[in-house]
Amino acid sequence: MLPDLNRLKVFFHIFNEQSSTAAAKKLHITQSGVSQHLKKLEEELQTELFTRVNRRLVPTAAGKKLYEIVQDFMEDLEQGVRHINDGLEMPSGPLRIGAPSEFGKIYLPPIFGSFRRKYPSVTMQLELDEPRVLFEKVASGELDFAYIDILPFFMDTPGGTSAYSIKPVVKEEFVLACSEEYYRAKVNGTDYEQLKQLDFIGYKKDIALFRSWFKLHFEREPQNLNLVFIADSSEAIVSAIKAGLGVGITVSHLMNREINTGKIIAIRPDAEKLQNTIACVQFKNKQPSITETAFQEHFRLELSKNYAKLELIEI
């Protein structure tokens, strides 16, 4: 059983002051109150903590050992209480943010850099992962908030979507593309039957994105595709596209430069766009800190100023 914390506090100050009178002044209580707390603590621990020498309280071996135990705790507690309101008026302290891998790697570090130049007391922990994992970390409190792809998995969230604040931030266009060489050699048109016979570069053996693309443009979707290369990152997919392995789907802003120079050809049968919306997700009943609110506003501002290739959603 833990000793009474008030008695440990009194002991801590007696040890520091080497005097019950000085400890009483420090604690703004009577000397008899200090003596009573010490007596009860010694009875509780069944050991003497101080001996009186020439009107001074000298710690015993047990007293010194107890002080070593409580010193860090008391000092950390005092320091923590002193700074408990830090960040209520000026952004400071840690930010724990989640994001999709490619989106997070490209945009969050430079935007956090400009944010930290304004608020140097802020630090960031960035978690890059798949939507379901990020959502679970928001739900468990491991992340303050996360930028998450809006997908059907939201229907299975703990407590339902009504328990969360889900604010769309940006839209990304998913583009079916291939290298210029592959396009010239294999792509003879943009009709359904011809396109579904091509070689495909897939993400983790999942053809759901391809099926969504075909459904959008042709109102029908293939059940199987010839997956010749499978990767678990958008960077690897773009690299495989450049290497001429086939056609792949990823967000357009990862290939804008190559598309503009003609090294990669975007296959667009019509004007329709397959889009992904990234939303800022956090608990609805959670009061955001000033640091969280300031970063979210800064993030939107930086995206609108410096990243025109992303379609910012007005909210």
pLDDT tens, position by position, 142-195: 999 999 988 654 445 655 667 788 899 998 889 999 999 999 999 988 899 999
Residue 231 belongs to what H/E stretch? strand 226-231
End-to-end CA distance of the chain: 54
* pLDDT value for 151: 65
Judgement on whether residues 186 and 208 belong to the same structural domain of the protein: yes
Same domain, 268 and 149: no
Query: Ramachandran region of residue 11, left (φ > 0), alpha (ψ -120 to 50) or beta?
Result: alpha
Same domain for 260 and 227: yes
Query: Same domain for 148 and 176?
Result: no
In a domain, 88, yes or no: no
pLDDT of residue 83: 66
Q: Which range marks the domain in which residue 99 is found?
A: 93-171+276-312
- Is the residue at 234 inside a domain? yes
**Two structure tokens written together for 61:** 């071996």
pLDDT of residue 94: 94
Would you call 75 exposed, middle or buried from its count of C-beta atoms within 10 A (0-12, 13-18, 19+)?
A: exposed
Tell me how many degrees the CA angle 165-171-176 measures, rounded to the nearest 5. 135
The CATH number linked to 245 is: 3.40.190.10
Are the C-beta atoms of 160 and 178 separated by less than 8 Å?
no
Whose CA is closest to 288, among 122, 159, 95? 95
Per the structure, how many domains does the chain have? 3
Asked if 178 and 247 sit in the same domain, the reply is: yes
What's the CA gap between 132 and 152, in Å, rounded?
Answer: 10
Question: Is residue 166 domain-shared with residue 178, that is, in the same domain?
Answer: no
Residue stretches of the chain with pLDDT short of 50: 153-155
CA-angle at 258, arms to 256 and 305, nearest 5° = 25
Residue 161's pLDDT is what? 67
Does 190 share its domain with 306? no
- Do residues 121 and 248 share a domain? no
